[in-house]
Structure 1
Amino acid sequence: MATTLAVPGAYPTIADALEVAPDGAVISLAPGTYTERLRVAGRRLTVRAAGEAGSAVIEATALDGPALAVVSGEVTVEGVVFTSGDYPAVTATGGRLRLRRCELSAGYGAGLQADDGATVEASEVRVLRGQHGLVFSDAGGTVESCEVRGVTDDGIIVRLGADPVVRSTTVADCGHRGVYVYQSGRPTIERCDISGTGDAGIVVANGGAPTIVESWIHDTRGVGIAFGPGCGGVVDRCRVEATAAPGVDVDPTANPAVTLDEGTAPKAGVGVTDGAADRNEAEVEQLLAELDSMIGLAGVKNEVRALIDEIQVNEWRRGAGLSVGAASHHLIFTGAPGTGKTTVARIYGKLLKALGVLPNGEFREVSRRDLVGQYIGHTAEKTTKVFEDAMGGVLFIDEAYTLARAGGAAADFGQEAIDTLVKLMEDHRDQVAVIVAGYTKEMSDFLDANSGLASRFAKTLEFENYGPDELVRIADRIARNDDYVFAPGLSDALHEYFSQLERDRNFGNAREARKLLEGMRKAQSGRLRALGRMPSREDLCAFVLDDLLTAIR
């Protein structure tokens, strides 16, 4: 079994853990920001975020070097964010580096730079900032289901004979070229989506010879694909559209084999993998079964199923070469607290991932304090950062109505957050699902805060208060999950209690059931301590009427 070193538990810093970690060890990072640089040379280690992907951040912006430098050895990194200044966020020199569900940001440098025979295996990695996205120099490996967005220069560079396989990856909104292959680079670019570049989508020069298969190059300022003098390679079943003319520009002395697809754009970009449809269908059914198992919420369940049905039919239409209208996956959840809004939002994100709509379906919950700053311009910066962090998944904004400017107070920067969200939601509607939640009336006022806000959302789902029968079932499920059972007659007493509760603004629905059970657990503890004997297993498991009466006094 691998040795696990916890940071900052047993070790104050990651460097401390690296110093003593034996080969094969796992360094587990608690959620938080670590202002340090990591250098791993000739070692076999795993560095893993202990919490959700992105919960551990290596912050090296002000430090002199990359956030992570791997020299030789074999290193695996999972779920970590790396941020650097004027250096690459991550470098690999020789050896093997595996990156899974990581996020890379740099200032002047690249997100990832691999050279000197390094092998990089990157999956579900996002590069969100940097001069370049991924740079391979005399290196190889596999890049699968990754994203490179918004870098200032080239998205992916392959040079000096490098031969990585780049599969099911999205390269978008780069300042210069999407992919630049030169100095005898020989990459395989398979089922990738390249768009929004400041110049050409793919440029091949100086003896480059890529194999470009079933990829979609579109909406570029320059030509779609350009082959320079003497270059070769293959372009097979690719779609090139909405680019500068000509779509594919081949120098007279170049000799690539080019076959374009003039029909429907191929499935390309992050989230596209072999056999994904078969695997995802089973996951969709499992998630819908999980949704159905929730108590109550009949209307919400029907609405979610209708959304999923529409997505599936649109996919069939797209596959048949039929037109499909632009779809928004942003939703409004209205209703009182404790009605399952957060749980449904999580399931919805996983469903979108299973359907191939979102690349990861990860869930990020925020509130006003995460979005609103303290001075002019700070709010837009904070809101944009939160939005970018949620790309590929679900951004859930609870009590969203608190962002609306109260009484027109100009000093309230919540309005700035709303205005920023409106633009981001439109610009990236295919890359994130924003769900705003709150009380029904207040959410109506929230939508009035910006004239374009309501149109950004596909649908409003109303979460109604739970009735007494449903609250008894919720209480029973919570109790059974914690190895408690209700004594005879207790369910009837609970029903009477829940029937008498006032359904006002402070009514907490499922939270009321959970709070009551906590009180009953304390009451049971006092009752069992007073028995004067060791309680039996049945005694320890049973909630009785006296426990309820004590809890509600």
Structure 2
Amino acid sequence: MVSTLAVPGTYPTLADALEQAPDGAVITLAPGTYRERIDPGGRALTVRASGEPRSAVVDASGLGGPALSVTSGRVEVEGLALVSDVHPAVRVAGDRAELRLRDCELGAEQNAGLKAENGALVEAIRVLVPGGESGFEFSYADGTVEECEVRDVKADGVIVVGSKLTVRRTTVSGCGKRGVYVYQSGPLIEGCEITGIGDVGIMVVHSRSVRVMATTVRQTGRAGIEIGADCTAEIERCVVTDTGDLPVRVDPRARATVSLTDSGGIPQAGVATAGMTQDLAEMDRLITELNSMIGLAGVKDEVRALLDEIQVNEWRRSAGLSVGAVSHHLIFTGAPGTGKTTVARIYGQLLKALGVLPDGRFREVSRRDLVGQYIGHTAEKTTSVFEDAMGGVLFIDEAYTLARAGGAAADFGQEAIDTLVKLMEDHRDQVAVIVAGYTREMSDFLDANSGLASRFAKTMEFENYGPEELVMIAGRIARNDDYLFGPGLPEALLDHFGRLERNRNFGNAREARKLLEGMRKAQSGRLRAMGRMPSRDDLRTLTVDDLRVAAR
């Protein structure tokens, strides 16, 4: 039987009800204003107004956070008005967080009405955002926005970044900047009305598989719809009128099919029939996977820039224009545990999806796989490994160990380097070689052969993770293993990681994984000492005490 907790009534405050509500409970709010915040704490909960829609107002202004914050669990909110100030009215983040909003109003004077991030899943139905900084922001989160309204926001109405989002029968009006902004995403925008926009009605950047269907765009400061370079889009049965620029502007390097109704004509230049040889869906998936990695902002930018260059070269080749020789070989520098191997794997798969390499196979090797024990053996081993990696990525970890130490003639690592230099030049279009290691030592490695540095297209620096990022990494590892952090543990982890010395032995993400392994062992001992069968929550929850034991 579902537990129903009435506020006020059964419980005097919303906080009291949230503290006592069991998993699956329903909390009802009578009409009125509640100067509180809603944080379900990972449970499955429903919170609804007992009166007319939006008659119950949860106002978190000045309370240091969103009116509703969901980081895990399945939450449904019906008929509430949710208000904040410098924070989003609603924030949902994490790949275990699901939120369903129905018949709600969201207000945040200096932030978004709703901000969904980091793998969250959101369904918003008949939700109003009547002002604030922006309306709906989806950043690497998926979901549906249906029959909603965003009006009179200072910036963008709907922002979609790295997300799979469906926007249906939704009105966006009176935005100071763009009506809908799409970046590295493939949303469906269907049956919507976008009007009174200060900038572009719908702007699409670095995105593929974007569909805009039966949508009206009018009264825009610039173009009604703009499709940027390296994008693919379908615009069907749309009405685009009263625009400050062309109704539809398509970059010559984009691929789009355009079908407008009563729009006064469309520009022909740059509008092309969709259809590319690359695996666009796979590219979208891989770019989303790359972007979902914690930190590494500079590395992500560098990879995207390389992909842009490769794509433009493919277009030039198709157009019969000259294309210079391009190397796909890279240098990754930085400490262990900073994501170098993961990025290398994704890079190889992206090259395959772009049609640059025949397959995305990943071969990781170290010195012992390349260096032999006698003259001539090293060249043979290195060539065999190289040929086995052809068509994909050859990843050489701690590559600096190949460099001849102190000029020792008996060290065959130099022979491996010299063999690699020739093979990389002869087969640069058939393989991507990525060498990785500590920053200083990799500089010495490049000096081992005069032609080595010129074989690589770019050096990417992987910086150490900060304490906040390590807490996020630990949280992701824990969630993937079906663990939860108990009260105060994120703050304790932040303090712990902040005190760690970042010397040569610092392992970055490996430190987080090692610590969690210790915490799980500590939890096992704690649960065995309880003297009773632990509950499901007991089995899932890691505590500050577990951290203290593991840290010792």
Q: When the two structures are superposed, what TM-score results if normalisation uses the length of structure 2?
A: 0.50
CA deviations over 1:299-356 (Å, ceiling 9, x no partner): 0000000000000000111111110001000000000000000000000000000001
1:458 equivalenced with 2:457 (yes/no): yes
**Equivalent residue letter for 2:476:** R
What corresponds to 1:388 in structure 2? 387
Q: Return the offset for 1:276.
A: 8.5
Q: Return the offset for 1:543.
A: 0.3
What corresponds to 1:351 in structure 2? 350
1:425 equivalenced with 2:415 (yes/no): no
The SS at the match of 1:410 is: coil
Structure 2: 5+ residue runs without aligned partners?
1-273
User: Which residues in structure 2 correspond to 1:91-106 (within 5 Å)?
Assistant: none
The SS at the match of 1:277 is: coil
* 2-structure distance, mates of 1:467, 1:308: 28
* 2-structure distance, mates of 1:303, 1:473: 23
1:445 equivalenced with 2:444 (yes/no): yes
* 2-structure distance, mates of 1:305, 1:277: 19
* 1-structure distance, mates of 2:498, 2:550: 16
What corresponds to 1:416 in structure 2? 415
CA deviations over 1:67-123 (Å, ceiling 9, x no partner): xxxxxxxxxxxxxxxxxxxxxxxxxxxxxxxxxxxxxxxxxxxxxxxxxxxxxxxxx
* 2-structure distance, mates of 1:278, 1:489: 51
* 1-structure distance, mates of 2:409, 2:378: 14
What corresponds to 1:59 in structure 2? none
The SS at the match of 1:441 is: helix
8 A contact 2:278–2:355 mirrored in 1: no
Q: Return the offset for 1:279.
A: 5.8
Distance 1:444 1:376, change over 3 A: same
What corresponds to 1:306 in structure 2? 305
* 2-structure distance, mates of 1:428, 1:363: 16
Distance 1:539 1:455, change over 3 A: same
What corresponds to 1:542 in structure 2? 541
User: Which residues in structure 2 correspond to 1:17-166 (within 5 Å)?
Assistant: none
**Equivalent residue letter for 1:381:** E
- CA RMSD across the alignment: 1.0
**Equivalent residue letter for 2:537:** E
Q: Return the offset for 1:285.
A: 1.4
**Equivalent residue letter for 2:329:** H
CA deviations over 1:381-434 (Å, ceiling 9, x no partner): 000000000000000000000000000001000000000000000000000000
Q: Return the offset for 1:286.
A: 1.1
User: Which residues in structure 2 correspond to 1:454-533 (within 5 Å)?
Assistant: 454-533=453-532
User: Which residues in structure 2 correspond to 1:273-292 (within 5 Å)?
Assistant: 277=276, 280-292=279-291
* 1-structure distance, mates of 2:458, 2:280: 24
**Equivalent residue letter for 2:291:** D
What corresponds to 2:267 in structure 1? none
What corresponds to 1:166 in structure 2? none
* 2-structure distance, mates of 1:537, 1:282: 39
User: Which residues in structure 2 correspond to 1:130-209 (within 5 Å)?
Assistant: none
* 2-structure distance, mates of 1:369, 1:535: 48
* 1-structure distance, mates of 2:275, 2:331: 29
CA deviations over 1:173-199 (Å, ceiling 9, x no partner): xxxxxxxxxxxxxxxxxxxxxxxxxxx
* 1-structure distance, mates of 2:491, 2:363: 39
CA deviations over 1:114-169 (Å, ceiling 9, x no partner): xxxxxxxxxxxxxxxxxxxxxxxxxxxxxxxxxxxxxxxxxxxxxxxxxxxxxxxx
- Taking only the aligned residue pairs, the percentage that are identical comes to 84
* 1-structure distance, mates of 2:390, 2:317: 24
Q: Return the offset for 1:541.
A: 0.2
1:375 equivalenced with 2:355 (yes/no): no
What corresponds to 2:108 in structure 1? none
Q: Return the offset for 1:277.
A: 3.0
8 A contact 2:523–2:546 mirrored in 1: yes
* 2-structure distance, mates of 1:340, 1:470: 13
* 2-structure distance, mates of 1:540, 1:276: 51
Q: Return the offset for 1:278.
A: 5.6
The SS at the match of 2:356 is: coil
* 2-structure distance, mates of 1:525, 1:449: 50
1:337 equivalenced with 2:304 (yes/no): no
Distance 1:489 1:286, change over 3 A: same
**Equivalent residue letter for 1:391:** M
Q: Return the offset for 1:515.
A: 0.1
**Equivalent residue letter for 1:509:** N
Q: Return the offset for 1:282.
A: 1.6
Distance 1:417 1:551, change over 3 A: same
* 2-structure distance, mates of 1:478, 1:277: 37
**Equivalent residue letter for 2:550:** A
* 1-structure distance, mates of 2:319, 2:356: 18
Q: Return the offset for 1:283.
A: 1.1
**Equivalent residue letter for 1:410:** A
**Equivalent residue letter for 1:409:** A
* 2-structure distance, mates of 1:528, 1:417: 53
1:407 equivalenced with 2:380 (yes/no): no
1:322 equivalenced with 2:311 (yes/no): no
**Equivalent residue letter for 1:535:** P
The SS at the match of 1:349 is: helix
Distance 1:276 1:427, change over 3 A: farther
* 2-structure distance, mates of 1:410, 1:452: 20
**Equivalent residue letter for 2:546:** D
* 1-structure distance, mates of 2:439, 2:464: 12
* 1-structure distance, mates of 2:455, 2:275: 29
* 2-structure distance, mates of 1:485, 1:508: 23
1:435 equivalenced with 2:440 (yes/no): no
